[in-house]
Structure 1
């Protein structure tokens, strides 16, 4: 099985705020997005770029996956952001409003041109109706693209949709992107929850995201880390059940049977594959020190 990297919690940190960048070194996030886009005012873009790239290159974030969100391709800051990010060599460059395979290919060529190390991946934000309809094309465009990031705020804006519990207006787009990610073997992250004071609502949306199949969720505040990490991690019960499934199936194979039962339920290969994935994720989380 492919090595699993936990991405339960992926926290946006404002690139213009030096204290926030330092605080991110101590927070229990699986990954951080050092943000040059929405969190930075136009007159602070250049200073934030220098600060973020220095932070990403510092090696001070330990086990955390460190990414840089650049400004979108149609902005005056994009080219300079991409060049600086490539030189800094983060784990990934997060690109807003990716809308086609052609754009992915251009990003890939630009990173190579600017000298980005091979380990620096592309995380594509899909946040428009056009991107939803081209999600498989985008996800499959490059091996360097490893993660799709849902931009649910922009999607709701483009759809003229309301933010309601359960996110019914967005479910079609979320499902299309999940299908695209799984069809192409890429990870996928759920969008942000805007009300940082509503932790009950946030946790409910985490549960929904996990039930859908997301690998984790993007966050806007450190208070969201604990429930997010807990919801997107396998529970002790899931780990124990997964071990039982694997043991029962191996025993059945040894006895020449193709199926097994656990607590009265029939177990087949697909259940074993899922059990192995759950145990691999639990092991990866434990190895990361959570």
Structure 2
């Protein structure tokens, strides 16, 4: 996810969606825009979806759905996150939208609850955990808080191009983990062919959750440019 590019924008309040085809141009091109919608007092996501659908006026999107990213940045938004995700999941496909992920807006959230942002972000632990759990329950990306000291060596959600390489290197699985995951999956497949379920691999018991973790490692490794 990148904030400083032409394909991303933040929607705050009622707006006209970015569909520019005139009445004589039936298709609408997507793939160049990812709207970011904050979770406010409720209904913000559904209002945007409804507005986007009305603006399309039945015209098809030519390059697939527009990826929608929502923000959690207030106490009310955090409490309503599940409700809004359910609403957007139900309505988004009717408007050519795909709910792609949720961003945790940490500084706005701190202001909402009257907290002071600290280096270890301990005051945000509960909110971050809730955003992750709810996002994953809906199959969404959970995009963590911004680390505003962008020249430091730590961070989550990048806000400067200079952070990208370091973040990819830090959060990519190590070669050792990739090798471990590959060997585990191969061993699992072999045991499946032999009709066995749980088994021991390098001193640890392996079952389906372990297999899923290994698959996640290989998936993450394959998505990061080398």
Short-chain TM bin = 0.7 to 0.9
30, 34, 54: which is aligned to 1:92?
34
Among candidates 124, 141, 147, match of residue 193 of structure 1: 147
Q: CA deviation at 1:97?
A: 4.1
2:47 is aligned to 106
Q: Tell me the distance in 1 between the aligned counterparts of 2:33 and 2:121.
A: 31
TM-score, normalised by the number of residues in structure 2: 0.81
Question: Does the aligned pair in 2 maintain the 1:242–1:278 contact within 8 Å?
Answer: yes
Paired with 1:183 and 1:79, the residues of 2 have a C-alpha distance of: 29
Equivalence for 1:131: 77
The residue matched to 1:162 in structure 2 has which SS?
Answer: coil
RCO (CA 8 Å, sep 6+): is it higher in 1 or 2?
1
**Structure 1 residue aligned with 2:189, among 236, 247, 250?**
250
1:218 match: secondary structure:
coil
What is the match of residue 101 of structure 2? 147
Task: Report the counterpart of residue 125 of structure 2 in structure 1.
Answer: 171
Q: Residue 133 and residue 186 in structure 1: after superposition, are their counterparts in 2 closer, same or farther (change >3 A)? A: same
Q: Please give the alpha-carbon distance, in whole angstroms, between the structure 1 residues aligned to 2:190 and 2:219.
A: 21
- For residues 232 and 269 of structure 1, do their structure 2 counterparts lie closer, same or farther at Cα, with a shift above 3 Å needed? same
Scaled by the length of structure 1, the TM-score of the pair is: 0.64
Structure 1 range deviating more: 122-131 or 248-257: 248-257
Equivalent of 2:211, from 250, 254, 272? 272
2:162, 2:172 → 1: CA distance? Answer: 17
What do residues 41-67 of structure 1 show as CA deviations (whole Å, max 9, x unaligned)? xxxxxxxxxxxxxxx4xxxxxxxxxx3
Aligned equivalents of 1:245 and 1:220: distance in 2?
36
Helix, strand or coil for the counterpart of 1:220?
A: coil
Matched, 1:230 2:169: yes
Which structure dedicates a bigger proportion of its chain to helix? 1
Q: Shift of the alpha carbon at 1:260?
A: 1.8
Quick check: 1:79 aligned with 2:15? yes
